[in-house]
Amino acid sequence: MARHGSAQLTGPLILALENSTMCGSIALVAEGLCLAENSLTTSTTHSQRLLASIHHLMAEGGVSWERLDAIAISTGPGSFTGLRIGLATAKGLAMATGKPLIGVSSLDTLACQLPWTAQTICPVIDARKHEVYTAFYRCDHSGYPKRESAYVAIAPESLALMIRDDVIFVGDGSTLYQEVFTEVLGKRAHFACPELFFVRAAALGHCAMNRWRQGQFLDPANATPDYIRPSEAEINFPSGV
């Protein structure tokens, strides 16, 4: 776990929860600073460790619930189970503490891990069924990646055929379908270093900081995950049947 002292912090402080992948993580993020971060790749159900990990992180960081300014949560896409558990936990904490709730797409978070690049950023998360979750981003004048397309679930071959300019891929789909992207795009395909392929709570927190400044909050009572495509349960048991 990475840590940084909290005694001198004067700006906003956000608790960020990332539960969209098997490498779940949590972080305490201030303006331009990650105070503490904890990540763990495991097959253990997220619900069995999430709350305990949050309490441990805050205790180790010397942060009280009163000191927090907001709670940020990954809204997806990603693991259906992980997203449900993460959002339910974040909603419960937000309602119990009265702190604002901020939602950040896991694709936005991946893009935010590549600030200032001049290339189109294409985060790709394995969606299974030979598809990836993705969207396109471009960095603005401040270096912050802005989304330029809708979130979609798409076959990697179809995604590659849509791309005309140089692009940098990031996310676990980059490894899984690197040969596909390279075969179609050739030298136009670039890949971020593998260390950036998982969605980090610290990056989520920094994305959330931008939303906090703009007052972009979720209603804890009505917030739902963004699966992009329906889950197996929704496909097999559609409404009204």
In a domain, 241, yes or no: no
Domain count, the chain: 2
Q: Are 123 and 170 in contact (CB under 8 A)?
A: yes
Distances in whole angstroms, Cα of residue 108 to Cα of each of 49, 111, 210:
25, 5, 12
Give 40-74 pLDDT, tens digit per residue. 766 555 566 888 899 999 998 899 999 999 999 99
> Which residues are bridge partners to 76 per DSSP?
105
Q: Are residues 71 and 176 in the same domain?
A: no
Q: Are residues 90 and 149 in the same domain?
A: no
Tokens 């931008």 appear where?
A: 210
Q: Are residues 101 and 10 in the same domain?
A: yes
**CA–CA gap between residue 173 and residue 127 (Å, rounded):** 8
Give 94-153 pLDDT, tens digit per residue. 999 999 999 999 999 999 999 999 999 999 999 999 999 999 999 999 999 999 999 999
User: Is the torsion defined by CA of 206, 212, 214, 220 positive or negative?
Assistant: positive
Domain span at residue 121 reads: 114-196
The CATH code of the domain that includes 190 is 3.30.420.40
pTM (2 decimals)?
0.89
Q: Are residues 205 and 87 in the same domain?
A: yes
**CA–CA gap between residue 14 and residue 37 (Å, rounded):** 12
**CA–CA gap between residue 15 and residue 168 (Å, rounded):** 29
In a domain, 138, yes or no: yes
Q: Are residues 192 and 205 in the same domain?
A: no
Could you say which of 166, 181, 196 is where a domain stops? 196
